[in-house]
Amino acid sequence: RGWCGAEILLRGSGVDRRTAECCGVQGQQQLQDTPPTWESSSRLSPPETVSRVSVCTILTEAHKQRLSVALKRLFGFSTGRTFPKKGQTCVVHYVGSLTDGRKFDSSRDRDKPFRFQIGKQEVIRGWEEGVVQMSVGQRAKLTCSPDYAYGNRGHPGIIPPNATLIFDVELLGLE
């Protein structure tokens, strides 16, 4: 039995949030015995007690359950006070890659933060649902299944059809 602590958010199919703190880098990892603190919310509930888990296992389960967005917090604290709200402009740095590691876009390479407005459908659905779970100053890995990315059309010459996309996103600020 144990809990894990690098935060993973799963959206869709009735599962909103799980928390995992992995002590290793790959494979099945031992978990801490102390459960995390949960904010009170009718939408969120603590995860089931598990004996072992890995980030890969959780993401694989997300795929099996047709969950569309997984967010793993890389650094920064989440107070909930600086979550983006509909109509606000998010200022982010990001690196986008395919599951095989090939990078297809990066605001960091251009040294120019990207701006988009929440709720205006200026970005893929995975970003709309993932970035609103971040606080200003946080950096996260967003994994977007094809239905929350570019779907079966892809983006010709850049993103193949039915591609799962991985984004390293840092929420720099809100305007």
Is residue 148 annotated as a catalytic residue, yes or no?
Answer: no
Is residue 94 annotated as a catalytic residue, yes or no?
Answer: yes
Three-state SS for the chain is: CEECCEEEEEECCCCCCEEECCCCCCCCECCECCCCCCCCCCCCCCCCCECCECHHHHHHHHHHCCCCEEEEEEECCCCCCCCCCCCCEEEEEEEEEECCCCEEEEHHHHCCCEEEECCCCCCCHHHHHHHCCCCCCCEEEEEECHHHCCHHHCECCCECCCCCEEEEEEEEEEC
Out of 116, 150, 159, 166, the active site residue is: 150
Is residue 147 annotated as a catalytic residue, yes or no?
Answer: no
Is residue 75 annotated as a catalytic residue, yes or no?
Answer: no
Out of 16, 105, 147, 168, the active site residue is: 105
Is residue 105 annotated as a catalytic residue, yes or no?
Answer: yes
Out of 8, 58, 83, 94, the active site residue is: 94
Out of 83, 114, 116, 167, the active site residue is: 167
Out of 124, 148, 159, 166, the active site residue is: 124
Is residue 150 annotated as a catalytic residue, yes or no?
Answer: yes
Q: Which residues are catalytic?
A: 94, 104-105, 124, 150, 167
